[in-house]
């Protein structure tokens, strides 16, 4: 599978099999995050892989709205910013951009390896930090359950390219 196929085929998975994820696959997903670019190559991040079922259950409670599926996954991956002080010249906080890129890389690698993910934007950050012993001053930017899909949802509709792309100006 090439990168474009992984992009086309990736779907948000909300049903997971209980099949364990092989260590080699987990290692490749985490390596994809490690290799992601970051502003000024600061790499101010920590990726937390949770495979302990008791912790996953606690984290599923911290995932808001329709959270039952989170507890089904054999693992949860959290992307944490260790620093948030650097603002790029464009005015964006680097940590949100950097960790979004890293999580995207990891999600696409997971897709290539036959694993499913679902980027969660609704979660109680303070509960996540408490369960995972994340120090004050750090931010949980993105989380995803990860595991073998137990469903094959239909692709979501996408806007036509003409609606989302313009050339040489807005």
pLDDT tens digits along 19-57: 999 999 999 999 999 999 999 999 999 999 999 999 999
Domain segments of the chain: what residues?
A: 3-164
Where b means 16+ CB within 10 Å and e means fewer, 108-128 reads: bbbbbbebbbbebeebeeebb
Can you tell me the mean pLDDT for 59-70? 85
User: How confident is the model at residue 66, as a pLDDT?
Assistant: 62
- Rounded Cα distance between 170 and 166, Å, is 6
Taking the C-alpha atoms of residue 36 and residue 56, their distance in angstroms, rounded to an integer, is 26
Strand order in the sheet with 75-81: 45-50, 75-81, 139-147, 116-117
Count Cα atoms within 13 angstroms, Cβ side, for 69.
Answer: 20
Q: What is the pLDDT of residues 99-148, one digit of tens each?
A: 999 999 999 999 999 999 999 988 999 999 999 999 999 999 999 999 99
3-state secondary structure of 3: helix
Q: Which fold has domain 3-164?
A: NADH Oxidase (3.40.109)
What is the DSSP pairing of strand 75-81 with strand 139-147? antiparallel
Does 65 score more than 80 pLDDT?
no
pLDDT of residue 67: 79
Residue pair 79/49 in contact by the 8 Å Cβ criterion = no
Q: Which pLDDT value is given to residue 93?
A: 97
């Amino acid at each position: 599978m090439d990168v474009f196929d992984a992009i086309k085929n990736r779907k948000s998975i909300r049903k997971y099999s209980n099949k364990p994820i092989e260590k080699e696959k987990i290692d490749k997903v985490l390596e994809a995050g490690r290799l992601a670019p970051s502003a000024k190559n600061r790499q101010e991040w920590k990726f937390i892989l949770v495979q302990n079922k008791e912790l996953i259950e606690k984290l599923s409670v911290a995932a808001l709205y329709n959270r039952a599926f989170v507890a089904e996954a054999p693992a949860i991956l959290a992307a944490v910013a260790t620093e948030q002080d650097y603002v790029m010249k464009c005015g964006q906080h680097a940590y949100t951009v950097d960790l979004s890129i890293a999580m995207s890389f990891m999600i696409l690698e997971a897709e290539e390896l036959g694993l499913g993910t679902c980027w969660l934007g609704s979660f109680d950050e303070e509960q996540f930090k408490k369960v995972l012993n994340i120090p004050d001053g750090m931010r949980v930017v993105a989380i995803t359950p990860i595991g073998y899909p137990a469903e094959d949802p239909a692709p979501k509709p996408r806007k036509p390219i003409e609606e989302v792309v313009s050339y040489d100006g807005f």
